[in-house]
């Protein structure tokens, strides 16, 4: 390989996230956009794809598809903007294999929703809170104070949300009540995945880092 080409590749990798991560984000955003458009064209799509406590075991697609349908176009737009923000915030910190962790967190969050007292659920914000935690963990190596501040801010948000005085106005804006418990379960999903991820790394590799 040409040394100059290798240098360019190295610089490109340092300057931004991997092509796999970029492709993943584009696919997720596109999937949400298509789902919201389908809901607009046919409201029955929501009934068929949303997470439901009574139907999600027998109809196994719902723990996944429930994250992509939304209460309204506004709800979907907010989640797309938040996904792009999280991707951009941790642009230089995503690691190889994070796409897999992020992908696994989608069905896992859907399964953890059975722990909540919910009849149905739509939206990507639960998964997104878990992705934010993953990004904060990845920042830890280079910016420990910043990473700690991000995690603290996330924990405070999760603690404050159930008593959020603006919940009614937010629900009116997006077209329905916000299931704050899904945010907690999305974070729990990433915690579980990170536990198994780090447990699979040999002790020597962890010490050497």
**CB within 8 Å of 102: residues ≥ 6 apart:** 24, 131, 134
Spatial distance between the Cα atoms of 120 and 115, rounded to a whole number of angstroms: 12
Tokens found for residue 42 = 């046919």
* Model confidence pLDDT, tens digit, residues 175-206: 988 999 999 999 999 999 999 888 776 654 55
3-state secondary structure at position 51: strand
**CB within 8 Å of 70: residues ≥ 6 apart:** 32, 35, 36, 39, 76, 79, 122, 123, 124, 174
* Model confidence pLDDT, tens digit, residues 124-150: 999 999 999 999 999 998 899 999 999
* Model confidence pLDDT, tens digit, residues 113-125: 999 999 999 999 9
Q: Tell me, what CATH number does 73's domain have?
A: 1.20.1540.10
Predicted confidence at residue 186, as pLDDT, reads: 98
pTM for the complete prediction?
A: 0.86
* Model confidence pLDDT, tens digit, residues 74-130: 999 999 999 999 999 999 899 988 999 999 999 999 999 999 999 999 999 999 999
> Based on the structure, what is the number of domains in the chain?
1
- Average pLDDT score over residue span 42-66: 92
- What share of the chain has pLDDT > 90, as a percent? 69
Tokens found for residue 159 = 């603690």
Tokens found for residue 19 = 């092509």
Query: Does pLDDT of 154 surpass 60?
Result: yes
Q: Measure Cα distances from 205 to 13, 97, 198 in Å.
A: 22, 16, 10
Query: Does pLDDT of 10 surpass 50?
Result: no
- What is the extent of the structural domain holding 122? 3-208
């Amino acid at each position: 390989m040409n040394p100059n080409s290798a240098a360019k590749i190295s610089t490109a990798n340092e300057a931004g996230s991997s092509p796999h991560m970029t492709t993943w984000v584009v696919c997720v955003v596109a999937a949400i956009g298509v789902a919201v458009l389908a809901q607009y064209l046919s409201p029955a799509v929501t009934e068929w794809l949303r997470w439901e406590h009574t139907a999600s075991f027998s109809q196994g697609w719902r723990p996944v598809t429930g994250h992509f349908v939304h209460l309204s176009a506004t709800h979907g737009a907010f989640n797309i903007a938040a996904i792009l923000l999280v991707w951009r915030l941790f642009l230089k910190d995503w690691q190889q294999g994070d796409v897999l962790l992020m992908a696994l967190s989608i069905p896992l969050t859907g399964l953890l929703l059975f722990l909540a007292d919910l009849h149905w659920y739509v939206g990507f914000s639960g998964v997104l809170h878990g992705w934010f935690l993953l990004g904060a963990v990845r920042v830890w190596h280079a910016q420990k104070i910043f990473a700690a501040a991000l995690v603290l801010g996330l924990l405070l948000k999760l603690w404050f949300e159930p008593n959020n005085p603006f919940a009614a106005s937010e629900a009116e804006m997006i077209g329905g009540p916000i299931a704050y418990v899904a945010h907690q379960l999305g974070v729990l999903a990433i915690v579980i995945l990170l536990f198994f991820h780090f447990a699979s790394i040999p002790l020597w590799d962890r010490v050497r880092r």
